[in-house]
Structure 1
Amino acid sequence: MNNKLQKDNGIRVTKTSLWRRLGGALFDLDRWYEIWVTITHNKSRSFLTAFGVFWGMFMLVLMVGAGNALSKGISSQVEGFAGNSCFFWTQNTSEAYKGFRKGRRWDMLNSDVEIIRSKVPELQHLSPMLFGGSNDKNVVRGEKGGSYQVKGCYPEYDLIEKSKIISGRFINDIDIAENRKVCIIGERVYEVLFQTGEDAIGKLVKVNGIYFQVIGVARRMANASIGGSTDESVILPFSTMQKAFNQGNIIHFLGATSRPGVKVKVVENKIKETLRSVHQISPDDKDAIGSVNIEDQFTMFNNLFIGINALIWIVGLGTLLAGAIGVSNIMLVTVRERTKEIGIRRALGATPSNIIGQVLTESIVLTVLAGIGGIVLGVGLLSAIGVALSQGDQFFKDPQIGFGMAVGSLTILLVIGTFAGFIPAQRAIMIRPIEAIREE
């Protein structure tokens, strides 16, 4: 844009002088009074004009807040899982191979763990898991009891699916090596079996008929979990669970993470290849090993959030632009109605920058006031929704906008207000005094 905005009657209006005029207007009480009179002169028209900007900003705030809430809600489902993790379980084979029939059922074994460690150098953490049934009141302490899921795992599993230890500790390598009869109980299990404030560490609980000493109380970090919620589970050392409940050397589930900088897909594929080779499964059998890749899930969620946010901003800015066009049209009408006034101002020596500053300031004030109203109402409604949804686990969580979003919205309002007033301001400085008086 040329530094010369307009040249009329030998007077040059530059960008510098224009912004100086606009800045000076901020401290000119007469200017503010004049703007107020202009806006309130036709209240209905001003209200309807501002409503477009108000509604556009209100909807933008609501949509951004809803998008943030959806993002937080979905993220909370997998919050406790390592982003570089994957999980495996066995399924029936779908192809005949080396004399084995199609549909064969097979199991992962203890020996698979060391074989996988040796053949997959990209592996960081690996933990097998066992699952026990949750029979009627299978976890008991004295006269209190309940039905809860029983899991067996390695210490490394807490680095794959993280849980928050409220008191005590998690399973360690000594527990595994010595087959210790110890356990970690979930927060809900603690609430049922113990009095509020009672120290559970060191106490005995009966799990599926066998006594175990409590070494920790854990709370889940994610809504989604493997083998049931941590809050309602009892976790045992993997080796202890195998021997105490005659599980043999079978593994029900396998969790793994990749080393930093290594794609989880690489580890996932290599573990599957190793298991197929060890258990005589066809290399082309895609159904014999079930798996889920958490990195892929995170990527999918991130792409989904990017798409949602892009759509929200496109729709929201489109609505604001429509409101700005409405403001611009009304300002053109206002300039036309004030033709005589502007002509007299010009005749009395008002410069083009004075006229432009007046029109732009009116446009910006009307736009910003309407937009701030939309922001305030939108934030208030989001807060009310957040309070209403705060009880329990929600897929739609804490609908709010960030401080950066609020500042960005005000900046957008200033730009839109300037844009809306620019064309009317250009129309105003083209009015010649003698023509304005003759027209009136």
Structure 2
Amino acid sequence: MLNLTYSYRIYPDAIQEAQMLEWMEQCRRVYNYALAERKDWMNSRRCQLNACSLRSEYIIPADTPYPNYYAQKRNLTAARKVIPELDSVHSQVLQEALARLDKSFRFMQQREFGFPRFKSVGQFRSLLFPQFKTNPVTGWQVKLPKIGAVGLNLHRPIPDGFVVKQVRVVKKASGWYAMLVLESDISIPDPMPIGNSIGIDLGLEKFLAVSTGKLVARPKFFVQLQSKLKWLQRQLKDKVKGSNNYRKAQSKIRRLHERIHNTRREFHFQVAHQLCSNVGMIFAEELNLKATSRGMLAKHCLDAGWGGFLDILGWVCKKRDVYFARVNPNGTSQTCPKCGTHTGKKELSQRVHHCVECGYTTDRDVAAAIVVEQRGLTAVGHTVVLPVEVNRLAVPVKQESLRGNSWKPTL
């Protein structure tokens, strides 16, 4: 079973747009109500049975079961019969709002952090239509239940053999989009670890170091546009909250954030495709993204988007039949790739690796990438080839303006 997601720009008319905005607001209310119901049940079980809470007391019977997804879905069916606003929304769309909340709780239990929060007005920006009897895409339109035919910019055709299973309508700063989930019965085997191999090491001074000795500079997507973002936020502060000028200033800020996101994502795809050229195996570090998102360098780590890049790289590798795996990152910058000697902790200012045992000298990030490649080859049962070059030169990347996507990384 193969699933793909294609994104298309849609153009709803004024009535359809108002209807979808109203549906999002109703989904937001259902989401918040279900979240409050779960929080009240959990808070009522905090204190012991023979004691009372010092803050507040929840009048919830002790035999009341936990309001899970299925119980809340049954309550939603009963609520639709007495609340006309909920009855006007497609039933499966409201159920998906509850499923989104249940998914957030399951992720919180797995990660042990990130309790779901209430959504304010305008924060619920997508609708999911999970089921279609027939193909909803007809020509240059997509037919949505209870909404009708919406104009669609079909800039690339749906591949043969794929059917549309789900449609998610998303409201972004630049307009409306439809995410089509396509499904096919085609079975594609996982790539095998054969062919040439490379290891990569992610960093802040250089975005990426390859075990072949080449480097990719890190474009500072957010940092370079931070001054403009501050200027727009100062303008927003002086506007009357809720006025037309206030909403216009908010729209400019959202469009700038979307521009930063799109530019970063395009850069990640370009690097991923160039890494997959003429190789059969790629190995990367299993980073602790939770730790990198905190501390003094958190802004720069989040600006680089390492987690998103590794996800994109894994998807591109599978698409281009390249084996991709992650290895243990502990001690990669403290191990000599030539002799395996532990060189000790290096300061961040020390950018050159020099082994006192074998005399091997190279760039620090390149040495770490070679160690990552060696660990990956050992994990898949291949012979590890030691580096023979004494000094691996780095190829810098010319950094141009972030306006548009005319620049590309050089590997």
TM-score by length of 1: 0.19
Could you say which structure has the larger radius of gyration? 1
Higher relative contact order (CA 8 A, sep 6+): 1
TM-score by length of 2: 0.20
